[in-house]
Structure 1
Amino acid sequence: MEKLKINIVIAGRTYPLSVNNIKEEEGMRKAATAINKLISMYEQNYAVSDKQDVLAMSALQFASKLEMLSLNKNDTNEEEIKKLNELTNLVSEHLK
């Protein structure tokens, strides 16, 4: 399968990318749009003199959201495992 060549613009710079399919292209374009919106928000609300500072804050924002999702998922998994173990113990005791 031939890769699709696309151009993504982030903070006024164009980045040529290769993607595997239309779905991946859509994901890349949506991500670029979200990054550009966040950059605009930081530039409007804070006295930012350097694009690198805005990009760093944007990267931190997205990375922290990803980490929070991961932590919440792990917490949920631990709770589910605990409840499953409790149910298993109850069933085992009932069957004795």
Structure 2
Amino acid sequence: MFIAMNRFKVVPGQEQTFETVWRTRETRLPEMDGFVNFKLLRGPSTQDHTLFASHTLWKSRTHFDGWVESQAFGKSHQGDGRLSGIVLGHPEFEGFDILQEL
């Protein structure tokens, strides 16, 4: 199994807008081979941002790589310009191979 996460630093006061962008975007994840589930996470707030993370679980790193290289990935990310002025910088990607699961 493989976890793909992107961390987003959202401008204070823009949290609801950020959540709305995610809830209304067209997703193609369920169509992808190896996709297990997706979660949008809201973390702590500081004076300069609120932390959010997208968390996607895949059957393998190979399945995730297939998603990133697919036309569906490109189509799903076409509307990312809607995040301009809402997030600070680019999202920070983190990928993890699951070594143990209880």
Instruction: Give TM-score, length-normalised by structure 1.
Output: 0.31
The structure where strand makes up a greater share of residues is: 2
* Rg larger for: 1
**Structure possessing the higher relative contact order (Cα contacts under 8 Å, 6 or more residues apart):** 2
Give the TM-score normalised by the residue count of structure 2: 0.30
